[in-house]
């Protein structure tokens, strides 16, 4: 049986709470016109946007999700697949500390 810490919804909740605590806004990314979109879109001041596809521990994206991730990356959007809370927090921290804050300095 999968523990709660390894369930997709729990991982998503904890990473989104961390993003909120770091000042990052986020929304559930749902669309009727395009299937396989990543689960969440994250917004930062200055027009920065990032996507995260959340998975259960050890799971990988479906073929449709992989195609959508490739499409978004080709448009220069950062897209991450997260199956671990600590991994998700590291991505958020990097985005805030190395991308957003560095941009403010320029």
Q: What are phi and psi of 55, to 5 degrees?
A: -135, 160
Decide if 69 contacts 81 (C-beta within 8 A).
Answer: yes
Neighbours of 5 (CB within 10 A): 11
pLDDT tens digits, one per residue of 45-66: 888 999 999 999 999 999 999 9
Q: Is residue 58 within a helix (H) or strand (E), and if so which, with residue range?
A: none
Token couple for 44 = 């930062």
pLDDT tens digits, one per residue of 21-40: 999 999 998 777 778 999 99
pTM (global) more than 0.85: yes
Q: What CATH code would you report for 4-105?
A: 3.40.1350.10
Residue 5 predicted with pLDDT over 80: no
Distance CA 95, CA 85 (A): 15
């Amino acid at each position: 049986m999968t523990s709660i810490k390894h369930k997709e919804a729990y991982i998503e909740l904890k990473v989104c709470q961390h993003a909120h605590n770091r000042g990052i806004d986020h929304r559930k990314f749902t669309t009727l016109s395009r299937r396989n979109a990543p689960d969440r879109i994250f917004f930062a001041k200055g027009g920065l946007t990032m996507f995260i596809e959340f998975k259960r521990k050890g799971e990988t994206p479906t073929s449709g999700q992989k195609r959508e991730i490739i499409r978004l990356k080709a448009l220069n959007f950062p897209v991450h697949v997260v199956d671990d809370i600590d991994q998700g927090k590291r991505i958020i921290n990097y985005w805030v500390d190395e991308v957003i804050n560095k941009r403010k300095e320029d």
